[in-house]
Amino acid sequence: MDLNYSQEELAFRDAVRSWLEKNLPEDLRRKVANYEHLSKEDLLRWHKILAKKGWVAPAWPKEWGGTGWNVVQRYVFEEELGYAGSPPLIPFGLAMCAPVLLRFGSEAQKKRFLPRIYQGEDFWCQGYSEPGSGSDLASLKTKAVREKNFYVVNGQKTWTTLAHYADWIFCLVRTDPTSEKRQEGISFLLMDMKSPGISVRPLILMDGAHEVNEVFFDDVKVPAENLVHEEGKGWTVAKYLLGYERMNTGRIGESKRQLAQLKEFAASRIADFRFRDRLSRLEVELMALEITNLRFLDRMRRTGQPPGADVSMLKIRGTEIQQGLSELMLQAVDPAAHDDFSSSIGKKYLSTRKTTIYAGSNEIQRNIIAKMTLGL
């Protein structure tokens, strides 16, 4: 096992870092550093800058616009984005729907959707969670009935991130309610958000932000050609997608940047030994997470295989560290201050409460590790 970067990989990291310093717009960097709201236009502006450079989808095959970078280079690039403080690349199209299409999609689906995802022409969202079917995803009830060349979809999705921005949604739907096993009879559909019968209702979070939504489907007609993979085999697609989602939830580069910012901001609190102890513990946990991530990276580099169930470790610890950083930043803020930065810190704290829930709650992740990795 080799957890060190080669000289070539270090040179690559330095080149990426230098380019980001010169090309990340200062107003976007400032918004991220100050935890300000990022609009759809902000997100797409950065997406298109990277697309023009040819760096927006490093993991894609070269024939579809990928960079040809190896797994280590892709990891370094992602961590450098977080460390530089760039806006997030919204994953639903680039890192979730696209890998599914590349693995399971037809040639017609690839040609239709992948170029538009790459250029930021279509904004995607994810239709997985439902009322009562979040962590227990296999219990979903949104149904799709085949009628000639269409599926007619009825049901509801909830906590749908950025659905109010989205042009398209990829959805898990139940096409066979008679299957004995809940994981069977589920299919994976692509739906145009402008289709008649789709409505979006906002869910306002604790921090006052409109980020997630309820999405309702009332007799929505979806062309049968928008079925990905085989009917009734959507659970296979869903598991493939979730493996990629959880690999990217550690956000080590972003956490390292926030840790450095916290140290600078909280210099006056360092004399408080309780605060210093929590800060030190958090830094050690982040170092351990980075080493664990490098172990997964080395395995992928050697085998070429996607991560297994134990990738849930990254999701658990990564999101808990993100919460810990926001808690210490809030503790370091002057409670009497009423400036914009202090307000943003409070919103950041509230926003990070959800990190241990999305991509499968951490409680569920521990069950996955116990069952699939430890055999308990």
Known catalytic residues are: 245
A 10 A CB-CB count for 13 gives: 18
Are 330 and 349 a contacting pair, CB within 8 Å?
yes
- The residue among 150, 229, 227, 238 whose CA lies nearest residue 195 is 150
Q: Environment class of residue 101 by beta-carbon count within 10 Å: exposed (0-12), middle (13-18) or buried (19+)?
A: buried
Q: Environment class of residue 99 by beta-carbon count within 10 Å: exposed (0-12), middle (13-18) or buried (19+)?
A: buried
Are 76 and 13 a contacting pair, CB within 8 Å?
yes
Are 270 and 283 a contacting pair, CB within 8 Å?
no
Rounded Cα distance, 100 and 109, in Å: 11
Q: Environment class of residue 273 by beta-carbon count within 10 Å: exposed (0-12), middle (13-18) or buried (19+)?
A: exposed
In terms of residues, how long is the chain?
376
A 10 A CB-CB count for 92 gives: 23
